[in-house]
Amino acid sequence: MGLVDGKVALVTGAGQGLGEGVAHALAADGAAVVLADKVFAKVQRVAGDLTAAGHKALAVECDVRDRSSVDGAVEAAVAEFGTVDILINNAMTQNLVPFDAATAEDLIDAFESSVLGTFNCMKACFPYFKENGGKVVNFGSGAGTEGVPGMATYGAAKEAVRGLSKSVATEWGKYGITVNVIVPTGSSPAWEQVKDSLSEANLRKTLAQFPMRRIGDPITDVGRIVVFLSSSYSDYMTGRTLFADGGRALFR
C-alpha cells in the first residue's frame, strides 16, 4: 500500500521536468494523478505513460493564470475521480534575464505564472480540502532563498510563493490542511541544456556546489519528498520549507 493510496492529486506544470517526475512518484505511491499544463500534448504524453504502467491519470489543459481555466481543471478532476486531496503547484514560466535587462513585463510574467497561479489553484481546491483536509505543496527556488545572478524576477516570485504559503498555512490548519514548500534541484530540460553547454571542468565545478555531487532525480529524489509532504506522514508539519537539493542549502 502506497503513502498516498486512494488519494487524488492535481499537479500543475506536469508536462516535463520536475512536474512530470512528481506525477510519476505520486502515481507509484498510489495516487490518481491529474496532470495540468498549458501545453496539452505534453501532459497527454505523461498521462499515457502513467496509464500504460497501470496507474490512474488524467491530462487537462490548464493556464494557471486564468481562474476559469483552473476551475475547469479542478472540475475535470472531480468528475473523473470524485474529489481533489492533494495540490502540487509547480507551474511557472522561466524568463531568466539579468536584473538590469529585466522589464516590468518580465516581473509581471513571473508573478502571474507563479504567485497568481498558486493562488488560483489553492482557491479552486479549497472547497474540497475544507471538507476532508488536504495537502498543498508549493515550489520555491534557490534563486530566491540563495539569490542567483540573472534570476531576480524568478527568485522574487518564488519567495512570494513562500510568503503566501506560510500565511495560508496559519489560516487553513484548523481545517486539517497542510501547506508546505519544497525547494528542489532536479534534472529538467533547462538543466540538460545548461549541462550540454558546460565543459567537463565547469560541470565538475558546478556539481561541486552540492555535497552529494549530483543533480537530483525528479522522481526518486524530488518526487518522493513531495510524496512525503502529500501523505499522512506529514500531518503535523505545515508552513515549512524543505530543501531537496543534495545539501546545497548548507552553503546558504
Catalytic residue among 128, 154, 175, 233: 154
Chain-centre distance for alpha carbon 47: 17
CB 58 within 8 A of CB 36: no
Is 154 noted as a catalytic residue in this protein?
yes
Q: In whole angstroms, how far apart are CA 204 and each of 44, 109, 193, 200?
A: 36, 33, 16, 6
Residue the block writes with cell 504567485: 115
Give the residue among 93, 150, 132, 115 at the shortest CA–CA distance from 8.
132
Give the residue among 20, 128, 135 at the shortest CA–CA distance from 74.
128
What are the two backbone dihedrals, phi and then psi, of residue 224, each rounded to the nearest 5 degrees? -70, -30
Question: 3-state DSSP helix/strand/coil percent for the chain, to nearest 5?
Answer: 55, 15, 30
- Cell of residue 178, nine digits: 497542510
CA separation for the pair 148, 92 (Å, rounded) = 17
Query: How, if at all, do strands 32-37 and 134-139 pair?
Result: unpaired
CA separation for the pair 90, 114 (Å, rounded) = 8
- Cell of residue 181, nine digits: 514548500
Catalytic residues: 154
